[in-house]
Amino acid sequence: EEEVGSFKTHDDDMHMYNSDGDFLIVPQQMTLGVQTELGRMTVMPGEICVIPRGVVFTVNIILGNTNNNDEKESGLFARGYILEIFRGHFQLPELGPIGSNGLANARDFLHPSAHYESDNAGTIANKPCIVVNKFGQQLFARVNPHSPYNVVAWHGNYLPFKYDLRKFCAVNSVTYDHLDPSIYTVLTAKGGDEDGTALADFVIFPPRIMATDENTFRPPWFHRNVMTEFMGLIYGEYDAKKGGFVPGGASLHPIMTPHGPDSESYFANVKKPCDKPEKFEGGLAFMFESSAMCKVSRYALECDQREEDYASCWDGLLGTFPKSHV
């Protein structure tokens, strides 16, 4: 399940845990303070965090540390994306011929240290609160007589964690052509509907050096996919759609739906000689990819922000092969 959301206020007396699956949170605007049973994490735009199934947590806004986004322009509300999986857990992808290092390295993932609410006067340690449980796609609430953050120490490997996307070690072609976006996978959840697919992949398109060979089309090619592709933009521009795809926005290409670069990006890139290296550093886009069919909510279909003429971005694309080739 993929979601785009925002929030402006927070109730310190309300907390949550998800019995259905793991949450992968991608903040796009404003820095988040994520408090969990196992400790606290500060997660900025350009970073991600994962909250495993069953771990109680709460999210708030931290002012004065917004990384890529200006607080005045944001209106002091947070915005971002969430990917939820209903079986298995997120893990690093198998590197295969890449070897022991590359992509997202295990050493760069951070977990919180234990933190608990003390019994000092003025704290919320013994203050009643509401704990919400997402169970079977429904929400249930109960009153807790004290703070759920009372773990003074822990050990084990079932825990929340965060990752700075700037530490991603991109692998790409150094000769020609555009490799499949799976080469940029940060985290994966196994269990796809068929061999070679995943239940969910989290893929990024980071700043990187592109191929040097002539006669190469550098943006993603036109294609259909056996996976559902949900694209988001954290900051800047996406090289395959520089117009209309804004930070905080999203696009959804369901299974076997044809798509590719917009007309403007296509014509600009076929003219490039590609005779020297070029660094793509104009933005940070990402993709939630899943072998599952994704149903669009009624709210998304009817909201004012929906781009109803999205397909017009490919207007003007015509056949380019000579008639003798047809």
Tokens 């949170």, located at residue:
25
Question: What torsion, rounded to 10 degrees, do the Cα atoms 41, 25, 185, 65 define?
Answer: -50
Give the whole-angstrom CA distance, residue 311 versus residue 302: 17
φ, ψ at 265 (rounded to 5°): -65, -40
According to DSSP, residue 112 is labeled P
Alpha-carbon Rg for the chain in angstroms:
22
Q: Is residue 253 flagged as an active site residue?
A: yes
Give the whole-angstrom CA distance, residue 43 versus residue 164: 9
Q: Is residue 89 flagged as an active site residue?
A: no
Give the whole-angstrom CA distance, residue 88 versus residue 204: 21
Q: Is residue 178 flagged as an active site residue?
A: yes
Catalytic residue among 10, 214, 223, 307: 223
Cβ-proximal residues to 72 (8 Å cutoff; 6+ apart), any chain: none
Catalytic residue among 259, 281, 302, 325: 259
Catalytic residue among 1, 2, 47, 229: 229
Q: Is residue 259 flagged as an active site residue?
A: yes
Q: Is residue 264 flagged as an active site residue?
A: no
Catalytic residue among 15, 47, 84, 253: 253
Catalytic residue among 178, 194, 214, 302: 178
Active-site residue list: 178, 223, 229, 253, 259
